[in-house]
Structure 1
């Protein structure tokens, strides 16, 4: 269920020292202030300058001045977050942010144990609705994880059960100033249209939608965890690269599950639904020595090599083609 800002922070117990991803906006400002008060001397702020807006330099100046007043060290990471053709602008910016934070934590501040990110309950609902609009499977419907490991660090989202309104109410009560990023109301971005048009309707029709949607995402995440365990067991049995005859012995749902797991865990590839369906048809048809396979999957190709299924990429993976962060 949704919590107050104070309740969420009381339950947050990160390993220290802690870095807070700080944009200067309301959510990250509230998280930074609360963490700095709770763990004085153990918190550093990380501001990523995306290089996408003319106001980016103003955001950086605001963050520097605010951190000086708060007596919290600030590290600014400048990145080029422009998106490649066919890539989502939001995904490109997110990928650049995580890379910058990883680099800081691993090389600039090696003692950092935890990275805190201020995404909240409304962000979680928007993520779920985006996943539904794209026909996502369980990984997408699981929305955002409250905690995960990346590059040897623990990432946390302590505010996932706190509404945006509750965060702003807390800031107002504290008399703390923040900046509003104008891109957050630009309805050219699907997420912003959801925020501006759908969330008010959901609030009117289903006042508890944040709780119920979040519960559905937790159920999806639990189911996905079970599928991951089954896929790992099946991959151990069929091998990596997988034996084609062993794959043919699996039911269709387990075959799809283990293929996704193999491609992602071994090759960092996520097949489309059409690619996966075509691959499964070819596996079923592969009954003779002369049967060949050469199917486009992700940025590379699935091929038959003797009795096993293999994947190769004729070109090295680019950073933008790696899996997105949770």
Structure 2
């Protein structure tokens, strides 16, 4: 793995994956189209998925220098739960070892806007001084009460900042259409209704980290070290994002919502609450409570409890499975 010239900005894009091979192929194509002066390293962390290395090697036949794309293999424990938190840490370490001064974390389901890196680079260079008096208010779904909190608390932050780009959602591909048109994703997609949407170039800082998610965010190398990274005690789905953001807030940091750095989430079937992850969510909720004193993912836990799958009494610190969860699946 070659290092770029010392005077060239270095960005590592970290992707963690198990399965989702078609989504990864499309994502790598979108990353090939990034418009930036940065030297880019794509770090693909394959969690117990030996097919990823070959897929990435085939993608390297395109316009991207193979030296700037690396696959890191990460095994899965005996419980077969994907080590999502540990995988992000491994990807970050690979990027930092290469010399990255900016880390961009992109969910494997997300396609990158051509200006993704340029927008993140602009925010990290001048965003710490941004305040509500200088930036327009974000728009959001008025029914999404938690989202409004992020727009009411803009402040200067002294700790690490997690820069959050826009995430829009793509519909299912119509019959007969093989791929999303990478040059026209804006017209195909709609922003998430419960996240702030800012005008292009605007920045909004907040100490309220409750809306953080890892689908699309960036952090400088310095702030990554200051954040402590993701807690490796989380295994499987749920809680690791919330814990990471909580740790950032505890260190005097917060979120930086930006107008731009857009990613487009490819459609796939979902369930809410995510029943296939019930056991992992319950286990990880206990990890979070042991660290922070409260249970996270309240909406999902309440839904599981209403369905009779768990005994959930947060005031008493009780959270237990009451029914066998369905077998895990992708």
Same fold (TM over 0.5): no
TM norm structure 2? 0.35
TM-score (norm 1): 0.36
Considering fraction of residues, name the structure with more helix.
1
